[in-house]
Amino acid sequence: MEELLPGVRSLLAVGLNYYVDAERAPGALKVARYGWGRDYHRVIDGRLRRLGRWLEERKPGVRWRACVDSAPLMDKAWAEQAGLGWIGKHGNLIHRQRGSWLLLGHLLTSLPLPADQPGRPLCGRCSRCIPACPTGAITEPFVVDSRRCIAFHTIENREADLPAEIASRLEGWVAGCDICQDVCPWNQQPLQSTADPELQPRAWLLELQPHQALGWSESDWDERLRASALRRLKPWMWRRNIQAAGSAASPEAGP
């Protein structure tokens, strides 16, 4: 952390609840929940910066730096160390009341702050997330192989075609994947649906139909993905993923 903020003495971990009690339309393609609203990098970064400025006003001379996801920081490990939750067997941070629907951010500061107790693992013997992954990406508890992960391939893979073993098991996912979180018992409890306007779903993401989306132009995609974390996917990647998901869902022709 010293390379990110010389003289750093403390790390403040924050979690933004992004669970929204909403359902996809029947037959809609699937997009991971984190991408439903506004780009969380911008949302969390802006709020952490306000916190940093507030801290600076009260402690003149204190230094700080906001870090969200893209900084070279082990965000989940530090969030667990700070007591925000524990890392589950699916590799996501889990909070007792919020489940794993948390977007993480950190504020580094030169101000010494009292430490909280680290998060205590509460997965116990549960391993529902491991067999639930259709591509076997969770190779063992706490180990996720990105080479088998639907989320990785639909968002980060820049090849013209997805690997056959991934494409055939998309189960409708075209941008990210929430399967391992959906089956987690900590996400089955009654959860508070966020009222944060920045995190409310864009209607089209819940109604994404392949026959419509495949006809969208580059400018259509640009307009719909404005200020979205899903801008990481280029229009051709959306089309690739949608076509692969549609092929995987189509029954094989008979003799």
**% of the chain exceeding 70 in pLDDT:** 97
Which long-range contacts (C-beta less than 8 Å, at least 24 apart) are formed by 206-210?
A: 206/22, 206/23, 206/24, 206/25, 206/28, 206/36, 207/24, 207/25, 207/28, 208/28, 208/29, 208/31, 208/174, 209/25, 209/27, 209/28, 209/29, 210/29, 210/242, 210/243, 210/245, 210/246
- In DSSP terms, 64 is beta-bridged to 109
Q: In this predicted structure, which of 47-56, 98-107, 239-248 has the lowest mean pLDDT?
A: 239-248
pLDDT over 80 (residue 248): no
In this prediction, residue 247 carries a pLDDT of: 78
Q: Which amino acid belongs to residue 42?
A: R
Instruction: Map out the domains of the chain as residue ranges.
Output: 129-249
In this prediction, residue 250 carries a pLDDT of: 55
Give catalytic residue positions: 69
Distance CA 73, CA 80 (A): 13
DSSP symbols for the chain: -TTTSTT--EEEEEEEE------PPTT--EE-GGGSSS-HHHHHHHHHHHHHHHHHHHSTT--EEEE-SSSSS-HHHHHHHTTS-EE-TTSSEEBTTTBT-EEEEEEEESS--PPPPPPPP--TT--THHHH-TT--EEETTEE-GGG-HHHHHHT--SSS--HHHHTT-TTEEE---HHHHT-GGGTS--PPP--GGGSPPHHHHS--HHHHTT--HHHHHHHTTT-GGGGS-HHHHHHHHHHHHHHHSPPP--
219-230 per-position pLDDT tens digit: 999 999 999 999
131-153 per-position pLDDT tens digit: 999 999 999 999 999 999 999 99
Residue 89, class by beta-carbon neighbours within 10 Å (0-12 exposed, 13-18 middle, 19+ buried)?
buried
In this prediction, residue 188 carries a pLDDT of: 96
What would the two tokens of residue 24 be? 């996809």
In this prediction, residue 153 carries a pLDDT of: 98
Chain mean pLDDT for the chain: 95
Q: Which residues of 41-76 are buried (b: 16+ CB within 10 A; e: fewer)?
A: eebbbebbeebbeebeeeeeeebbbbbbeeeebebb
Per-residue pLDDT, averaged over 95-121, amounts to: 97
- pLDDT-derived band at 48 (thresholds 50, 70, 90) equals very high
Please count the other Cβ atoms lying within 10 Å of the Cβ belonging to residue 218: 10
In this prediction, residue 255 carries a pLDDT of: 35
Per-residue pLDDT, averaged over 114-125, amounts to: 96
pLDDT over 60 (residue 203): yes
In this prediction, residue 16 carries a pLDDT of: 97
In this prediction, residue 33 carries a pLDDT of: 97
- pLDDT-derived band at 249 (thresholds 50, 70, 90) equals low
pLDDT over 80 (residue 254): no
pLDDT over 60 (residue 253): no
- pLDDT-derived band at 70 (thresholds 50, 70, 90) equals confident
